[in-house]
Amino acid sequence: IRYKIKNSSDFVTIATVRLETLLSDVAVVFNPSDERYKHLENQYVIHPLTNEAIPIIKDEYVDKKFASGLMKLSAHAEVDIDIIKKH
């Protein structure tokens, strides 16, 4: 899924097998040690379905070697909810 970076023509891509959770996405998260995404800290992406701005946050849980190294956070996964509560 491509999320447009707010106020930019750039996008980030996030792989998911849980398309049914897309409407409940509240953030995009990356690992703080992942140099590829440090420039995105404190920025927002535009939700592809709602056009709402959602934050890009960082958390150690994200495996930077898995897929794109980005994760979408929704209200339908226990791990996601734990990260949301933390931030």
* In the chain, domain spans: 2-86
Homologous superfamily of 2-86 in CATH? Valyl/Leucyl/Isoleucyl-tRNA synthetase, editing domain (3.90.740.10)
Query: Averaged in consecutive runs of 10 residues, what is the pLDDT profile of the chain (87 residues)?
Result: 95 83 85 95 95 94 86 72 67
Q: pLDDT tens digits, residue range 55-67? A: 999 998 888 888 8
For the entire predicted model, the pTM comes to 0.81
Sheet holding 44-46, edge to edge: 11-13, 2-5, 44-46, 53-58, 27-30, 70-73
Token couple for 49? 């379905």
